[in-house]
A and B are shown apart, each in its own frame.
Chain A
């Protein structure tokens, strides 16, 4: 069964360092997302991406964050200068269709990348 894969599964970094989290969405999917879950808290939307551009972002997704689809398969989240409060599980997700009223929300999530900022 097709699945979303994420690497690394766990990354430890020093505050101020740049981090890139990688995701390989399901191959025929067109919409890609990043979500974040601080330990023990709820899952929060960060950004959605379609047709090589951001379609929506939350207030969490500030200038320190960026996303990119550098090739036909990868979807990356970059944190430019990590802060302690960036420590969280980051989930990548993809969906085949994204328009409201279609398969909206049938997101397929990866297993997450746990980021620990020291």
Chain B
């Protein structure tokens, strides 16, 4: 069975703090994709990153970085020097070879509140 677990329901930090959002996934497929989406208070879903199962290199994009570890089935997301505009719900998602195109399995999301 495919599953995505985001154990942190809500996180609250003060601006400029670093914060890591955890994502653990389950799949028996050896080929799969992992994603992070951001859902700001306005409600839309904003694509942040996609990572395939064969690429374990960590990625950095500005203040965002992602740590993919197949050994622990985790794909964690770190925001460095958080800002109030980072306040949103963040979803981790999985797409596997057994699923059709676009059938993303989402975690329950982590609500991040960044206070000034």
The tally of CB-CB contacts under 8 A between chains A and B is 78
A104 within 8 A of B: yes
- Within the complex, the shortest CB–CB distance from B103 to chain A, in Å, comes to 5
- Contact (A45, B47) CB under 8 Å given A105-B35, A105-B93: no
B44 within 8 A of A: yes
Number of interface residues of B (CB under 8 A): 26
Closest 5 CB pairs of A and B: A98-B101, A56-B100, A109-B45, A111-B44, A43-B106
Chain A interface residues (CB < 8 Å from chain B): 31, 33, 35, 41-45, 48, 50, 55-56, 58, 89, 91, 93, 95, 97-101, 104-112, 114
Taking A43-B91, A98-B101, A109-B45 as given, write out 17 further A-B residue pairs in contact, using a Cβ cutoff of 8 Å, ordered by the A residue number: A33-B102, A43-B37, A43-B104, A44-B106, A45-B103, A48-B100, A48-B101, A48-B102, A48-B103, A55-B100, A100-B95, A104-B95, A105-B35, A105-B95, A107-B47, A107-B104, A114-B43
